[in-house]
Amino acid sequence: MKKKRKRGKKRIRIWKIAFGLLLCFVALTIVPVLLYRFVNPPTTPLMWIRWVESGAPKNLPLQLSVWMPVEQLSPNITKAVLAGEDQKFFAHNGFDWLAIEYAIQTNLTTDRKVGASTISMQTARNVFLWQSRTWPRKLLESYFTVLIEFFWSKQRILEVYLNVVEWGDGIFGCEQAAQNYFRHSATTLSPVESAWMAAVLPSPRHWALRPTPRHVQARQIKILDALPNIKTSF
Protein backbone atom coordinates (compact mmCIF):
# COMPACT_ATOMS: atom_id res chain seq x y z
CA MET A 1 0.00 0.00 0.00
CA LYS A 2 2.83 2.41 0.89
CA LYS A 3 4.56 1.73 -2.44
CA LYS A 4 1.35 2.42 -4.31
CA ARG A 5 0.87 5.67 -2.41
CA LYS A 6 4.45 6.75 -3.18
CA ARG A 7 3.96 5.94 -6.86
CA GLY A 8 0.72 7.87 -6.84
CA LYS A 9 2.40 10.89 -5.24
CA LYS A 10 5.25 10.75 -7.79
CA ARG A 11 2.79 10.68 -10.66
CA ILE A 12 0.92 13.66 -9.21
CA ARG A 13 4.19 15.57 -8.86
CA ILE A 14 5.16 14.76 -12.44
CA TRP A 15 1.77 15.90 -13.71
CA LYS A 16 2.02 19.10 -11.66
CA ILE A 17 5.48 19.83 -13.05
CA ALA A 18 4.34 19.10 -16.58
CA PHE A 19 1.27 21.28 -16.14
CA GLY A 20 3.40 24.09 -14.70
CA LEU A 21 5.81 23.91 -17.63
CA LEU A 22 2.87 23.97 -20.03
CA LEU A 23 1.46 27.08 -18.35
CA CYS A 24 4.87 28.77 -18.54
CA PHE A 25 5.16 27.92 -22.24
CA VAL A 26 1.70 29.25 -22.98
CA ALA A 27 2.36 32.45 -21.02
CA LEU A 28 5.75 33.06 -22.65
CA THR A 29 4.27 32.64 -26.13
CA ILE A 30 0.85 34.24 -25.86
CA VAL A 31 2.06 37.37 -24.05
CA PRO A 32 4.35 38.56 -26.89
CA VAL A 33 1.69 37.72 -29.47
CA LEU A 34 -0.84 39.85 -27.60
CA LEU A 35 1.74 42.61 -27.13
CA TYR A 36 2.61 42.75 -30.83
CA ARG A 37 -1.04 43.05 -31.69
CA PHE A 38 -0.75 46.66 -30.52
CA VAL A 39 3.00 47.34 -30.29
CA ASN A 40 5.34 47.12 -33.27
CA PRO A 41 8.18 44.61 -32.86
CA PRO A 42 11.42 46.54 -32.22
CA THR A 43 13.61 43.81 -33.71
CA THR A 44 13.48 40.21 -34.99
CA PRO A 45 15.49 37.04 -34.35
CA LEU A 46 16.64 37.05 -37.99
CA MET A 47 18.22 40.49 -37.62
CA TRP A 48 20.35 39.19 -34.75
CA ILE A 49 21.17 35.98 -36.62
CA ARG A 50 22.39 37.93 -39.65
CA TRP A 51 24.41 40.19 -37.36
CA VAL A 52 26.15 37.22 -35.72
CA GLU A 53 26.67 35.43 -39.05
CA SER A 54 28.39 38.52 -40.46
CA GLY A 55 30.76 38.89 -37.50
CA ALA A 56 28.87 41.60 -35.62
CA PRO A 57 29.53 44.47 -38.06
CA LYS A 58 28.53 48.00 -37.15
CA ASN A 59 26.68 48.62 -40.41
CA LEU A 60 24.05 45.87 -40.01
CA PRO A 61 20.83 46.97 -38.25
CA LEU A 62 19.65 45.37 -35.05
CA GLN A 63 16.44 47.38 -34.77
CA LEU A 64 13.55 48.11 -37.10
CA SER A 65 14.11 51.83 -37.51
CA VAL A 66 11.15 52.67 -39.78
CA TRP A 67 7.58 51.35 -39.49
CA MET A 68 4.96 52.00 -42.15
CA PRO A 69 1.24 51.44 -41.42
CA VAL A 70 -0.14 49.26 -44.18
CA GLU A 71 -2.80 51.81 -45.14
CA GLN A 72 -0.04 54.35 -45.89
CA LEU A 73 1.86 52.03 -48.22
CA SER A 74 1.37 52.07 -51.95
CA PRO A 75 -1.42 49.60 -52.80
CA ASN A 76 0.94 48.29 -55.47
CA ILE A 77 3.37 46.80 -52.96
CA THR A 78 0.69 45.14 -50.83
CA LYS A 79 -0.96 43.63 -53.90
CA ALA A 80 2.36 42.54 -55.40
CA VAL A 81 3.39 40.76 -52.21
CA LEU A 82 0.02 39.03 -52.02
CA ALA A 83 0.30 38.05 -55.69
CA GLY A 84 3.79 36.66 -55.27
CA GLU A 85 3.63 35.09 -51.83
CA ASP A 86 0.05 34.22 -50.87
CA GLN A 87 -2.90 34.91 -53.16
CA LYS A 88 -5.28 33.10 -50.78
CA PHE A 89 -4.21 35.19 -47.78
CA PHE A 90 -7.66 36.60 -47.03
CA ALA A 91 -9.37 33.25 -47.62
CA HIS A 92 -7.39 30.91 -45.36
CA ASN A 93 -6.85 30.72 -41.60
CA GLY A 94 -3.06 30.67 -41.78
CA PHE A 95 -2.50 27.45 -43.74
CA ASP A 96 -2.96 26.73 -47.44
CA TRP A 97 -3.62 23.01 -47.18
CA LEU A 98 -3.66 22.36 -50.94
CA ALA A 99 -0.26 24.03 -51.28
CA ILE A 100 1.06 22.04 -48.30
CA GLU A 101 -0.15 18.77 -49.84
CA TYR A 102 1.43 19.66 -53.18
CA ALA A 103 4.72 20.62 -51.50
CA ILE A 104 4.88 17.35 -49.55
CA GLN A 105 4.23 15.26 -52.66
CA THR A 106 6.75 17.21 -54.72
CA ASN A 107 9.47 17.12 -52.08
CA LEU A 108 9.03 13.39 -51.53
CA THR A 109 8.84 12.31 -55.17
CA THR A 110 11.21 14.72 -56.96
CA ASP A 111 14.53 16.49 -56.44
CA ARG A 112 12.75 19.84 -56.25
CA LYS A 113 12.22 21.60 -52.94
CA VAL A 114 8.89 23.40 -52.82
CA GLY A 115 7.66 25.51 -49.95
CA ALA A 116 4.08 26.18 -48.90
CA SER A 117 4.47 28.96 -46.36
CA THR A 118 1.67 31.48 -46.24
CA ILE A 119 2.26 35.10 -45.27
CA SER A 120 0.91 34.24 -41.82
CA MET A 121 3.44 31.43 -41.43
CA GLN A 122 6.28 33.63 -42.66
CA THR A 123 5.24 36.38 -40.24
CA ALA A 124 5.23 33.92 -37.33
CA ARG A 125 8.67 32.69 -38.32
CA ASN A 126 10.19 36.15 -38.86
CA VAL A 127 8.86 37.70 -35.65
CA PHE A 128 9.20 34.86 -33.15
CA LEU A 129 11.53 32.14 -34.46
CA TRP A 130 14.71 31.20 -36.25
CA GLN A 131 14.98 30.26 -39.94
CA SER A 132 16.52 26.78 -40.11
CA ARG A 133 14.31 24.04 -41.55
CA THR A 134 13.87 21.68 -38.62
CA TRP A 135 10.80 19.90 -37.31
CA PRO A 136 10.82 21.71 -33.94
CA ARG A 137 10.91 25.04 -35.75
CA LYS A 138 8.12 23.98 -38.11
CA LEU A 139 5.95 22.86 -35.20
CA LEU A 140 6.52 26.13 -33.35
CA GLU A 141 5.85 28.05 -36.57
CA SER A 142 2.49 26.32 -36.91
CA TYR A 143 1.71 27.08 -33.26
CA PHE A 144 2.54 30.78 -33.60
CA THR A 145 0.62 30.93 -36.88
CA VAL A 146 -2.51 29.74 -35.09
CA LEU A 147 -1.94 32.35 -32.38
CA ILE A 148 -1.50 35.34 -34.66
CA GLU A 149 -4.41 34.28 -36.85
CA PHE A 150 -6.57 34.14 -33.73
CA PHE A 151 -5.39 37.30 -31.96
CA TRP A 152 -4.39 39.56 -34.88
CA SER A 153 -6.40 40.85 -37.81
CA LYS A 154 -5.38 40.03 -41.37
CA GLN A 155 -4.44 43.67 -41.81
CA ARG A 156 -2.12 43.50 -38.79
CA ILE A 157 -0.46 40.30 -40.02
CA LEU A 158 0.20 41.83 -43.43
CA GLU A 159 1.48 45.08 -41.91
CA VAL A 160 3.91 43.26 -39.62
CA TYR A 161 5.11 41.07 -42.47
CA LEU A 162 5.81 44.01 -44.78
CA ASN A 163 7.75 45.80 -42.05
CA VAL A 164 9.93 42.94 -40.81
CA VAL A 165 10.63 40.73 -43.81
CA GLU A 166 14.20 40.56 -45.12
CA TRP A 167 14.54 42.31 -48.49
CA GLY A 168 18.28 42.06 -49.03
CA ASP A 169 21.57 41.95 -47.18
CA GLY A 170 20.95 44.07 -44.08
CA ILE A 171 17.66 45.36 -45.50
CA PHE A 172 14.50 44.76 -43.48
CA GLY A 173 11.01 46.08 -44.20
CA CYS A 174 9.47 47.56 -47.32
CA GLU A 175 10.31 51.19 -46.53
CA GLN A 176 14.02 50.52 -46.14
CA ALA A 177 13.93 48.34 -49.27
CA ALA A 178 12.17 51.01 -51.34
CA GLN A 179 14.64 53.66 -50.20
CA ASN A 180 17.58 51.38 -50.91
CA TYR A 181 16.53 50.09 -54.33
CA PHE A 182 14.50 52.99 -55.76
CA ARG A 183 15.50 56.02 -53.68
CA HIS A 184 11.95 56.90 -52.66
CA SER A 185 9.33 55.90 -50.12
CA ALA A 186 7.27 52.71 -50.20
CA THR A 187 4.21 54.98 -50.23
CA THR A 188 4.87 55.76 -53.92
CA LEU A 189 6.07 52.43 -55.31
CA SER A 190 4.91 51.80 -58.87
CA PRO A 191 3.48 48.46 -60.09
CA VAL A 192 6.78 47.57 -61.82
CA GLU A 193 8.87 48.43 -58.76
CA SER A 194 6.48 46.58 -56.46
CA ALA A 195 6.45 43.49 -58.66
CA TRP A 196 10.26 43.42 -58.65
CA MET A 197 10.36 43.74 -54.84
CA ALA A 198 7.85 40.90 -54.48
CA ALA A 199 9.73 38.81 -57.02
CA VAL A 200 12.94 38.74 -54.97
CA LEU A 201 11.31 37.82 -51.63
CA PRO A 202 11.95 34.04 -51.83
CA SER A 203 15.71 34.67 -51.76
CA PRO A 204 16.33 38.41 -51.35
CA ARG A 205 20.04 38.28 -50.56
CA HIS A 206 20.73 36.39 -53.79
CA TRP A 207 17.98 37.55 -56.14
CA ALA A 208 18.12 41.31 -55.48
CA LEU A 209 21.02 41.72 -57.90
CA ARG A 210 21.63 44.19 -60.70
CA PRO A 211 21.08 43.47 -63.53
CA THR A 212 17.99 41.49 -62.54
CA PRO A 213 18.42 37.73 -63.13
CA ARG A 214 16.19 36.20 -65.79
CA HIS A 215 14.23 34.00 -63.39
CA VAL A 216 13.45 37.07 -61.28
CA GLN A 217 12.33 38.96 -64.40
CA ALA A 218 9.99 36.08 -65.28
CA ARG A 219 8.59 36.07 -61.75
CA GLN A 220 8.19 39.87 -61.87
CA ILE A 221 6.15 39.61 -65.09
CA LYS A 222 3.87 36.97 -63.58
CA ILE A 223 3.25 39.15 -60.54
CA LEU A 224 2.51 42.17 -62.74
CA ASP A 225 -0.02 40.13 -64.71
CA ALA A 226 -1.71 39.04 -61.48
CA LEU A 227 -1.97 42.51 -59.90
CA PRO A 228 -5.37 43.48 -61.41
CA ASN A 229 -6.93 40.38 -59.85
CA ILE A 230 -5.61 40.93 -56.34
CA LYS A 231 -8.09 42.42 -53.90
CA THR A 232 -7.46 43.68 -50.39
CA SER A 233 -10.10 43.94 -47.70
CA PHE A 234 -8.98 47.24 -46.22
The alpha helices in the chain, defined as continuous H runs, are 2-38, 45-53, 75-85, 97-109, 119-128, 135-151, 154-164, 174-182, 191-199, 204-207, 214-226
pLDDT given for residue 5 in this prediction: 62
pLDDT at 22 over 90: no
Greater pLDDT, 16 or 177: 177
pLDDT given for residue 2 in this prediction: 58
Instruction: Give per-residue pLDDT as tens, 132-170.
Output: 888 889 999 999 999 999 999 999 999 999 999 999 999
Distance CA(40)–CA(156), nearest Å, equals 10
What are the sequence ranges of the domains in the chain?
1-39, 40-229
Instruction: Give per-residue pLDDT as tens, 176-202.
Output: 999 999 999 999 999 999 999 999 999
Residue 151 vs residues 36, 142, 156: alpha-carbon distances, Å? 10, 14, 10
Distance CA(132)–CA(122), nearest Å, equals 13
pLDDT given for residue 7 in this prediction: 65
Measure the N-to-C terminal CA separation of the chain; round to a whole number of Å.
Answer: 67
pLDDT given for residue 4 in this prediction: 59
Which range has the worst mean pLDDT, 6-10, 87-91, 143-147, 172-176? 6-10
Q: Which CATH fold topology does 40-229 show?
A: Penicillin binding protein transpeptidase fold (1.10.3810)
pLDDT at 16 over 90: no
CA-nearest of 141, 121, 40 to 32 is: 40
**What is the rounded average pLDDT of the residues 110-133?**
87
Instruction: Give per-residue pLDDT as tens, 30-83.
Output: 999 999 999 999 999 999 999 999 888 888 889 998 999 999 999 999 999 999
